[in-house]
Amino acid sequence: MTFHIGQQNAGVINNTEGDQIIHGGQRGTFVSADPSQALAALRAALGEVALPSGTAEAVSSDLDQAAAAIQQAEPDKERAAGPLERVTQTLKSTGALAAAGAALIAPLQVLGQWLGPLGAGLLKLLPFI
């Protein structure tokens, strides 16, 4: 059997041949490919994550730096890449990526992909979900 699937936009898409059994339900998060919207989604998701105060302040500072670079008339990917990679590393090392799952990973994926080659380090830090 061959599938010919066009463009798909959804939180969860299952393309299967044969039986599929899902235990525990499925959830999906859609994040726009716009880096400003992805950054806003990341900030919103971080509001639901418990981080130590010093860590939360460092993440907030890095996100402010990334936002300043992204929201220029001509976004500066080089200037945004470092802070976004630090945020990702911090969230990974504190266990926040594992705890929050797609809510944090999806916007980080969008930002990493938007950065292109500069986002390779960020994307390597993300777990596969």
Task: Give me the domain span that covers residue 53.
Answer: 35-125
pLDDT number for residue 53: 84
Tell me, yes or no, if the pTM score tops 0.85: no
User: Could you read off the pLDDT of 76-91 as tens digits, one per residue?
Assistant: 999 999 999 999 999 9
The answer to whether residue 72 sits within a structural domain is yes
Percent of the chain with pLDDT over 90: 58
The answer to whether residue 22 sits within a structural domain is no
Concatenated DSSP letters of the chain: ---------SS-----SS----SS--------S-HHHHHHHHHHHHTTS---HHHHHHHHHHHHHHHHHHTSSS--HHHHHHHHHHHHHHHHHTTHHHHHTHHHHHHHHHHHHHHGGGGHHHHHHSPP-
The answer to whether residue 30 sits within a structural domain is no
The answer to whether residue 121 sits within a structural domain is yes
pLDDT number for residue 22: 78
The answer to whether residue 65 sits within a structural domain is yes
pLDDT number for residue 60: 95
